[in-house]
Structure 1
Amino acid sequence: MNDHQPNDEFDELMRRALHHEADRIEPADGLHEIQARVRNTRTPVNRRPWVVTAGAAVVGTAAAIGAFAVLNDDNRQAGDSEVAGAPSTTATATGAPQSATARPSATLPSTSASVSLPTDETPKAKPTEAGKLEPESSGAIPVYWLGETVGAATGPGVRLYRTFVPFKGRATYSAVQLMASGKSDDPDYSSPWIGAQVSEVRMSGSSIRVDFKSLPKTRLDPDVAQMALQQLVYTVQGASGTTVPVEVTLRGRPVQELFGVAIKQPLGRAQSLDVQAFIWITSPANGAVLKTPFKVAGIAAVNEAQLNWRITSDDSRRVLQEGVATTGEAFKLTPYSFVVAKLPAGRYTLEVFEVSAADGRLTSTDTKTLLVK
């Protein structure tokens, strides 16, 4: 792992889980070739198409304006199970404090909630010190991506998903660079930051300044644009192990507009249940080569702490296994796991999803492509 020790119990939980599950997977020679062949030759089963492209993103008008609440600088990292509860104080997406908001006790936050653009009443950020570069290290860093919210008829249509990526160098710089490359191991995840070129990342006690040589000129729907901003914030804070706001500069100058929307800086972090996916598969990774039986693990915030899963053969399109799993607690991002029994060698799609109690729709689906030896 890297030399950074994030104040993120959730990230630490994930790292331990990844180490544990890695011991169960037997990689084969030519793994990258196999993964590429799997992705290039298979026809997806209920795979999510990427909905944030330059052409599609400009279609439609902004939904009714709501508000993201952003965690105060209280050492609770994005994705921490504590984040599901209301902090004592919250802040707007630009870092301005406001009164605490209570979490719903019976239902998940609506995916139709949209975000509010900063207003002139938002206090301007105080000037920050120049900051310093991170020390070099190596290990695995969290990188956030956007993925489609399956089954949601309203709202931005995308939420944040996280993967861990190996790196060597400066952790936060590397994480932003990977995010901007758009090269996720899971084809369901992508990034509207493609084309951005990172110059440097500097740390100070009050903020993290990310300076770019160039930034995307893509214009997005305002709600999707705010998700893209949160993608940057979560990636920077996750990699740096901090909860301080993020400042974006272009060749040293503060940025006032991104993805076609005005922004107020520094950028604060929205609460996890407002922006993160409700169901993640964290192990095995997409494209994993393994033997059965194997364990599936992840994080979810679901109704009545229950979710569903199934294994579909990519060759026959038949569902070979399915079942129900439970999380530690309803309506909070808590771990789940289950075991997939014996399967013949072949290519498979693993799906984990929630069945809507209202109309039986499959919602919040996350999928992984697997190769069983």
Structure 2
Amino acid sequence: MRGRIGWALLALLVLAGCAGTGDAEDRVVPTVPAVPTVVPADPTSAVVPVWFVGGTPAGDRLFREIRALRDGGPDDAPPDPVGTAVTAVLDGRTDDPDHRTDWPAGVRLRSPVTHGDGLLTVDLAVAGPLPGPAGLALQQLVYTVQSAADSDDPVRVLVGGEPAETLLGEPVAAPLTAADPYRVRSLVEIDDPVDGARTPGPVVVRGEAAVFEATLLWEARNADGRVVRAGVTATAEGQRFAPFRVEIPLDPGDYTIVVSEDDPSGGEGRPPMTDRVRLTVV
């Protein structure tokens, strides 16, 4: 599973009811949809996934951010989910300060992304040489284009309208495919709420994870860093990327929500992967 999101479908989803409480010993087996349920602040907009880079105990990995896509562009042009997502990747304007882009400055989308003959074609305009290293830049692009287009088709990269042999020191003459998600994605991702959100309580946290026996640990820390709520929840399926949902009753104030893998090794293996979001309960 590559974590693709049909942006048009997501525009129709609404927030679901409670899947559990925030008591420390609760084990919640959520009833959740197959894709993250994210409602944009503007009900007239859809959402589009954008992939950025963040650090984990296993090195840099891809993290997904969900962006609102307003209906219509300048002069009432139709919305362009793929172009919006690619532009966000190249600009590197993340919602989460823990994330970044591996794309250097001076690269922009030259023309709309096209889809035909089994290929998604991205035409880039580049200001000057881009020697690399690429890091996860090319996989950022592939995951973002495929997710926003809701397609597994390979991604062909053009530079200035022409085929390129290399980009950022990596070969791009052949169409690019998505790398194994278990090797390049963070195994724990919070999709909603976004970092910096202001939300009424109880706080409903949704995301996707690929974890041992579907088990996730979570904590809510107050502004002093003290754990005020903690518990266990579950993904819809173990060892595969699957959605999770947990509801946390919190009083008004500033909090950091941390969701983490369990550690069946008892500390013998690598440190667990986590994701966090900072928010204010109003």
Which bin holds the TM-score, normalised by the shorter protein? 0.7 to 0.9
Q: Equivalent residue for 1:311?
A: 220
Distance in 1 of aligned mates of 2:214 and 2:242: 9
Distance in 2 of aligned mates of 1:279 and 1:9: 12
Distance in 1 of aligned mates of 2:114 and 2:250: 49
Specify the SS of the correspondent of 2:98: coil
Contact 1:299/1:336, CA 8 A, preserved across alignment: yes
| Cα shift at 1:206 | 2.1
| Cα shift at 1:295 | 1.6
Distance in 1 of aligned mates of 2:262 and 2:13: 27
Shift of the 311–234 alpha-carbon distance from structure 1 to 2, 3 Å rule, reads same
Equivalent in 197, 205, 211 of residue 296 of structure 1: 205
Contact 2:6/2:148, CA 8 A, preserved across alignment: no
| Cα shift at 1:258 | 2.2
Equivalent in 125, 132, 148 of residue 219 of structure 1: 132
State whether structure 2 residue 108 is matched by structure 1 residue 197: yes
Distance in 2 of aligned mates of 1:313 and 1:17: 33
Contact 1:353/1:362, CA 8 A, preserved across alignment: no
Equivalent in 259, 265, 273 of residue 352 of structure 1: 259
Write the mapping of 1:147-226 to structure 2, written as runs, cut at 5 A.
147-149=54-56, 151-152=57-58, 157-167=59-69, 168=73, 169-195=79-105, 196-200=107-111, 201-214=113-126, 217=130, 219-220=132-133, 225=135
Write 1 or 2 for the structure with the bigger share of strand.
Answer: 2
| Cα shift at 1:187 | 1.0
Distance in 2 of aligned mates of 1:19 and 1:145: 25
Distance in 1 of aligned mates of 2:201 and 2:149: 36
Shift of the 204–12 alpha-carbon distance from structure 1 to 2, 3 Å rule, reads closer
| Cα shift at 1:252 | 1.5
Specify the SS of the correspondent of 1:231: helix
Specify the SS of the correspondent of 1:173: helix
Distance in 2 of aligned mates of 1:279 and 1:326: 12
Shift of the 218–352 alpha-carbon distance from structure 1 to 2, 3 Å rule, reads farther
Moved over 4 A (4+): none
| Cα shift at 1:294 | 2.1
Write the mapping of 1:258-337 to structure 2, written as runs, cut at 5 A.
258-314=167-223, 316-337=224-245
Shift of the 16–250 alpha-carbon distance from structure 1 to 2, 3 Å rule, reads closer
Gaps of 5+ in 1: 1-7, 25-79, 82-137
**What TM-score comes out, normalization by structure 2 length?**
0.77
Contact 1:233/1:268, CA 8 A, preserved across alignment: yes
1:351 aligned partner, one-letter code: V
Q: Deviations over 1:315-359 (max 9, x none)?
A: x2211111111112210111112121232x221111101132224
Gaps of 5+ in 2: 19-33, 36-44, 74-78
Question: Aligned-pair RMSD on alpha carbons?
Answer: 2.8
| Cα shift at 1:302 | 0.5
| Cα shift at 1:362 | 4.3
Equivalent in 44, 50, 56 of residue 143 of structure 1: 50
Q: Equivalent residue for 1:232?
A: 141
The count of aligned residue pairs is 244
